[in-house]
Amino acid sequence: MDARDADLKKELNATLQARRELGEEYESALVDSFLEKVDQRIDGAVDRRVRRQLAEQQMTLARDARSPRPTDSWGERYGFGLVSLVMAVPLSAIGAGTAHLPGLLISWLGIVGVNVVQAARSNPGLFGTRRGRSDGDGDWEK
């Protein structure tokens, strides 16, 4: 038996003692008073349980948000890079054939850019993205 149960037992004994001393005319008021205390005890226990469950859910959501995504499949991770390298051959030929060196550079900048975007999408923290909250004066932590 914990302290709360002992307190409730003391309250019940005090209520019964008061009923013996005051008589039956106060019985209804004494029972109502005791039931109000029991009701408050139940409400407090329910509130604590609900707050605990909400805190656990918030922690679970926060943990899930921070945890890395499941690793991508081999096809998604490396397939994009392989396809872009295969496509680089005709794109390089077209760029170099029509605009010579500037066309070749532009085609390769496009290929690299597409792969950088794919890498950033697959690994959100790869390029030092912002993390944390604002420190209050509008500046973000890096």
CA–CA dist 64, 93 (Å, integer): 46
The pLDDT profile of the chain, 142 residues, written as one tens digit per residue, is 677 778 888 988 988 888 888 888 888 888 888 899 889 989 999 999 999 999 999 988 888 777 655 555 677 778 888 888 899 999 999 989 999 999 999 999 999 998 888 888 877 777 775 554 444 444 454 4
Neighbours of 25 (CB within 10 A): 7
Neighbours of 3 (CB within 10 A): 7
DSSP label of 26: G
CA–CA dist 53, 64 (Å, integer): 16
